Structure 1
Amino acid sequence: MDTVRTEKYLNDLLEKTYDAQRGYAYAAEVINHVQLKRWLAQQGARRTEFAAVLFREIKGMNNTPELDGSFTGDTHRGWMNIKAALSLHKDEAVPEECLTGEKYAIQEYHKVLEHNKEMPPSIISILEAQKDEMQLTVNEISSLADFAHDHHL
């Protein structure tokens, strides 16, 4: 097990989880559709829980967890587009932007899980569970995107 690499992988995911949490929270704050607002807030809360688990695991390895989202060029692209969509008052664009963000996050989890030989089984289980939940979210978002499109939100 390579604890230095594991800590780096977890911190990278933690940064992206903070980005996702902020993206969902921002969207929930400014969107007009009540049901979508509630769903976005719930997703933001789930990402806060994901972050807390990752934070705790990094601390448990006697390392220093990231305290904020990413500021680099590879910042979670999908979440940055939410602000643009909402600034144009296009509630119907939000599910599509969330879908892009979630798919990006799943790809990041896949990349980290490719290094599973370097990580303890407990970490792998946590990451698999979070990735699986994000995949369920993608399925929900797809339904929301269809609903938003059909009802011209």
Structure 2
Amino acid sequence: METNKEIISDLKGLVNIVNDGKEGYESASEATDSKELKAVFLKYAAQRAAYAIELKNHLAQHGGNSDNEEGGVLGALHRTWIDIKQAFSSREDTAILEAIETGENAALEKYDKVLEDDDAHADHIALLQRQRTGILEALKEIETYHQRLLR
């Protein structure tokens, strides 16, 4: 029973972090004037929305639920940080990309922590690994755009 509570807690935490990512990408898409970046940001916002649905399905299988459609408290801090950086940098894409990198690294850390307990998460380990890979690929793409802008 204790393990199931931990599974539910872990999955809820992941729902929060992917919703944070969705919100962050949506905010970034509104803040950039670059059509290319806007498309990338909206692609990843949609990806995170899909991840949240998948996680909520597994959460339900374990008797939990999450009505969270937005990020958690930490996500609000990340979004606030994006807003602050935008205000100081006149909506510079490099600042937006830096903030997204911070959020993506936080998401990877959260996934890594959950994946450490692979026995508890055995029935959805493949899902978690696939989602983590997707976040890592997004981070790499964001870093590529960031490096391109710094040149």
Tell me the equivalent position of 2:86: 86
- When structure 1 is superposed on structure 2, of 60-69 and 32-41 the one drifting more is 60-69
CA RMSD in angstroms, aligned pairs only: 1.6
Tell me the equivalent position of 2:104: 102
Give distance in 2, aligned partners of 1:122 and 1:108.
18
- When structure 1 is superposed on structure 2, of 24-33 and 81-90 the one drifting more is 81-90
- Structure 1: where are the runs of 5+ without partners? none
Q: How high is the sequence identity, in percent, across the aligned residues?
A: 23
- Cα distance change, pair 80–125 in 1 and its aligned pair in 2 (3 A): farther
Given residue 81 of structure 2, which amino acid in structure 1 is its aligned partner?
Answer: N
Deviation, 1:105, is 0.5
- Render the CA deviation track for 1:61-99: whole Å, top value 9, x for unaligned: 22122424212xxx0354432222222322221111111
Tell me the equivalent position of 1:21: 22
Runs of 4 or more, structure 1, over 4 Å off, are: none
Give distance in 2, aligned partners of 1:86 and 1:79.
11
Give distance in 2, aligned partners of 1:69 and 1:98.
14
Give distance in 1, aligned partners of 2:11 and 2:105.
18
Tell me the equivalent position of 1:38: 39
- Structure 2: where are the runs of 5+ without partners? none
Give distance in 1, aligned partners of 2:11 and 2:93.
33
Tell me the equivalent position of 1:113: 115
More helix by percentage: 2
